[in-house]
Amino acid sequence: MDPSAIAVRLASSAVGPLVKRLFVQGTHGAGLVDKPVRISALVSFKGEKGSLGRNEFDKLSAELVDRAAQSYGPHEAPSAEVRGELAHALALALHSLGDLEMDDVQAVRLGPEALAARLARSGHLSAAAESYYDPLLHAACLHILNFFTQRSTFVARTLVEQARSLELLIATTDLLIERIPPRSVEDARFEQLYTRHIARKYSELTIYGLDLNHEREWRLDTAYVSLELAHETAASIPAEQVLSGRSKVLLRGAAGSGKTTLVQWLAVTAAQWAHGRPARTAEIPNSLDHLVGRIPIVLPLRRVIRDGRLPTPDEFLNAVRSSVAGSQPPGWTDRVLGAGRALLLVDGIDEIPQREREETRRWLRELMGDFPGNLWLVTARPSAVGEDWLAREGFAQLSLSPMSRTDVTHFVRHWHRAVGTEPQLGEALLDGIRTGEDLGRLAVNPLMCGLLCALHRERRGFLPHGRRDLYDAALRMLLERRDVERGVRPDDGLRLSSETQILLLQKLAHWLIRNSRVEMEHADAVTQLERSLGYMAHVQASPERVLRHLLERSGLLREPATGRIDFVHRTFQDYLGAKAMVEEGDFPLLLDNAHKDQWEDVVRMSVALGRPAERDRILTGLVTGIEGTHLGRDLYDRPYGRSLSGQDLRRVLMAATCLEHATEVSPEVRRHVIDLTGQFIPPNTRRRARNLAEFGGPIVLGLLPGPDELTDGQAENVIITATRIGTDAALPVLARFSGHPALSVRRQLAWSWMRFDTQKYAEDVLAHLDGTDLYFTAHNIDHLHALRDLGGRARIQLVGIYRSADLVENLDPESLTHLWLRDGFSAVMGDEWLAAFPRLHTIAVPERSRGAAVVPPHITVTRVPAGQVI
């Protein structure tokens, strides 16, 4: 049904009063503060003016659905079951209004369709509910925007927004007047043609070397994710601000770290702002005003050098084979450079032969001397040039930082949005990255994140079971296909096949693992390569030259310090080392070290890479001598003369995690490993739960079952194991239990908050817990603040010492009915704070706690015996 038709049926007199209850009452005037007032500050179910509790909020959503159902008529109205689904989904969407970082003016500018798209969406609607949901949400958004336009501050705010837009326009015009000198009509016309060409040419991202059946290119404005730059003497800064306050920067970054993508972003952004007419004014903050009026000139060195010769300015466009080069007015590039208006983006020092790099430095120095005042960004891999390569020319040196967990999350979601893939597939991949250490180690830069996304989609979400395929595809991309597709020329004619490079890298990885090292001396690397090259007659190059080639082109090796060599990704070292061990039959060394943390990936990858008989040998070796009867008691009991040691337990867990990588293994071996593991997973006692966490570590997370078919006690023990491991990888495991009905399970989840990131745990776990009879434990002020952001909770347990002012500020007075002071009244410093909580009627304190407080007669004080849980 047409959404507008539903909106007409839902009269304002019926829906308007309900919508108004979602927001606090406005004030007169322009509503201005230091920062614009966001929608999140206007909603009535969070913040200091919160007045709509969770129960009332749910009832409001249900009433909106009921009124919508009445508007359909008796034959078209949804069933009671569907109305329940719709009420839940609508409540989720409307509650996410509190997370929108925009104000009412911006929301009205979006319109109801775009506003609805910004709100949270339930991923579990039935087909029957789906047909009603979008029109219902559209109608609600239409009435919300209508309410915004009627607020007393809206007109004033709109005028202020217009004034700010005029101020920005004036400031931009001033910059353009300063940076754009008088030009001929011919120059002006060509610049418009050229900047449109640049904005179009670099508006797509490409992952080179990805041998998949889907497209490799995505729109830059959709898929781009901001990264950070690191400087040894300064704090991290957003990568987009690389030239803010700096006119010359040498940017270092490993293969796939995002150097070329940043070059594209800067080129497109500068092109859009070259004449002060960007596609979207709000996209350019003041920190990037140095790009206004700049003409971007992108110079990929692998393309512009011909026969060892670098281009002169008038040849720049022809050198990159620009399709608009023929329209360039004579002398145009010289005039742009001479006026100091250019943004020169010189990409890929590492992608040209070593012999041409010194000539490139002289070329850069000459251009900067002849044309001062322009902005320069030069990119290179870390080992391509020395630390002081451009220091005398005044270049600042910055490095692209590895992606943070937040960066990875944004990238994966942007990627799936850009390619039009269902969001659920992206969320499943994020769960895999958080839970699986191997995926987490790979997801460190845009190249590898893009690879994971594409492979995950190619295999329809079964990436964890294709681990060998994942690494093989990554190695093919990094070692061969990427340079070929990018058109990178081999240095001095040296071209090594991917097979040859893998064999050489295996030798280096095997040496590192065998010697318990994460890096090696330059001389040791040369020695290992020299031995291997003696068996490779087809490689006519010295070990030194081959090592330099691997450092610069493989994307897998780096030189973190002079004379030191290591792998960029430890997981590739382990994979290649395991490959060498399997090929050389080095199984005794593997099994002797299988219980060590550093050997986890080596063991698992050896199972993945081995042939069936080799897999059986590794798995059998892991559990040899470990009898199932030993697992029938707690770890430290000795009922049979020998206890199960922590080392034994770890070896069994290792064997269990290896099964998922064993494509083919004998049924007897598989059954034996499963039987051993099944005797203590799921854990049946708290002690075993703690033992699993202590001796198993993160590898246990992939073995822990979900809530189905577990007793309440087993579910509680699984949570104890996961929370004691305490890494972010445990969050997806814990989130599976957030809908569990048992109070003991919910209590354990609420108590374990202090082991994790405050905000992430609140969003992933606490927000989904049923609050019936449950005390939410706050260990600090941040916890109280997060609970208030969730809409407050009726029952809260305080652990630690608090000022009364902190409680008044951070506890929701409309929600709080029960307060458990785990450390007694003395844990609250200050008086008269109870008066701030009119609905509070029960306070629990320890039975033998000292201190007292003046408690109003309507509040009951309960004394809790030591060790008792309420």
Strands 519-521, 564-567: parallel, antiparallel or unpaired by DSSP?
antiparallel
Predicted confidence (pLDDT) per residue in 597-620, tens digit: 778 888 988 998 999 999 999 999
97 within 8 A of 147, measured Cβ to Cβ: no
Specify the CATH number of the domain 185-401. 3.40.50.300
pLDDT score of 215 more than 60:
no
pLDDT at 641: 36
What φ, ψ does residue 234 adopt, rounded to 5°? Answer: -145, 165
Phi, psi of 379 (to 5 degrees): -115, 150
User: What is the distance in angstroms between the CA of the first residue and the CA of the last residue of the chain?
Assistant: 50
Share of the chain above pLDDT 90, in %: 21
pLDDT-derived band at 630 (thresholds 50, 70, 90) equals very low
Of 158-162, 330-334, 659-663, the range with the lowest mean pLDDT is 158-162
**CA 216/CA 753 separation, integer angstroms:** 41
SS (H, E, C) 356-423: HHHHHHHHHHHHHHHCCCCEEEEEECCCCCCCCCCHHHCCEEEEECCCCHHHHHHHHHHHHHHCCCCH
Alpha helices in 586-666 (DSSP H): 587-592, 600-609, 612-623, 646-659
Higher pLDDT, 160 or 740: 740
Please give the Cα distance from 684 to 713 (Å, whole number): 7
How far is it between the farthest Cα atoms of the chain?
96
Note the pLDDT of residue 206: 62
Return the pLDDT at 287: 59
pLDDT exceeds cutoff 50 at 212 = no
pLDDT at 55 over 80: no
DSSP 268: H
Q: Average pLDDT, whole number, for the chain? A: 79
Q: Which of 254, 517, 291 is nearest to 403 (CA)?
A: 254
Question: 């039987």: which residue's tokens?
Answer: 675
- Mean pLDDT, residues 502-528 taken together: 91
- Extract the tokens encoding 749: 């989840």
Residue 63 pLDDT class (50, 70, 90 cuts): confident
Distances (CA, A) of 456 to 225, 258, 605, 707: 19, 21, 19, 26
Top-confidence residue, 490 or 732? 732
Structural tokens at position 184: 């001929």
CA distance 501 to 506: 8
Pairing type for strands 204-206 and 217-219 reads antiparallel
**What DSSP designation does 237 have?**
E
pLDDT above 90: residue 9: no
Which residues lie closer than 8 Å to 126 by C-beta, 6 or more apart?
Answer: 82, 85
pLDDT at 231: 62
CA distance 593 to 842: 56
Per residue in 808-858, pLDDT tens? 888 989 999 999 988 888 778 776 788 889 999 999 988 876 655 677 888
Containing 206, the helix (H) or strand (E) segment is strand 204-206
Q: Is the separation of the CB atoms in 88 and 35 below 8 Å?
A: no
Reduced 3-state DSSP string for 210-236: CCCCCCCEEEHHHHCCCCEEEECCEEE
Residue found by looking up tokens 């249900």 in the block? 62
- In 258-349, which residue ranges form alpha helices assigned H by DSSP? 259-272, 301-304, 316-319, 332-338
pLDDT of res. 209: 41
Q: In this predicted model, what pLDDT tens digit does every residue of 755-792 receive, in sequence order?
A: 888 888 998 899 999 999 999 999 888 899 899 989 89
Identify which has the larger pLDDT, 762 or 134.
Answer: 762
Say whether pLDDT at 669 is over 60: yes
Dig out the tokens for 526 from the structure. Answer: 């040369």
User: What local confidence, expressed as pLDDT, does residue 718 receive?
Assistant: 94
In this model, does residue 551 exceed pLDDT 90? no
Q: What is the pLDDT of residue 334?
A: 94
Q: Determine the pLDDT at residue 640.
A: 36
Which of the four pLDDT bands, split at 50, 70 and 90, describes residue 793?
Answer: very high
Is residue 549's pLDDT more than 70? yes
The per-residue pLDDT for 777 is: 93
The mean pLDDT value for 89-117 works out to 80
| C-alpha to C-alpha distance for 773 and 787, rounded to whole angstroms | 16
Measure CA 454 to chain center.
16
Percent of the chain with pLDDT over 70: 78
Residue scoring higher pLDDT (848 or 528): 528
Per-domain residue ranges for the chain? 3-157, 185-401, 775-870
CB atoms within 10 A of CB 336: 25
pLDDT at 484: 57
Indicate the pTM of the whole model: 0.51
Q: Tokens representing 251?
A: 């940017």
Whether 635 shows a pLDDT value over 80: the answer reads no
The pLDDT of 784-807, averaged and rounded, is: 89
pLDDT tops 90 at residue 144 = no
Query: How much is the pLDDT for 164?
Result: 53
Q: What is the pLDDT of residue 719?
A: 94
Q: How far is CA 468 from CA 66, 455, 609, in A?
A: 53, 12, 7
pLDDT tens figures, 234-249:
556 788 888 888 899 9
**Res 48: pLDDT:** 52
Q: Does 161 have pLDDT greater than 60?
A: no
Whether the predicted pLDDT of 33 surpasses 60:
no
Quick one: average pLDDT of 149-158?
A: 61
Interatomic CA distance for residues 60 and 18, integer angstroms: 7
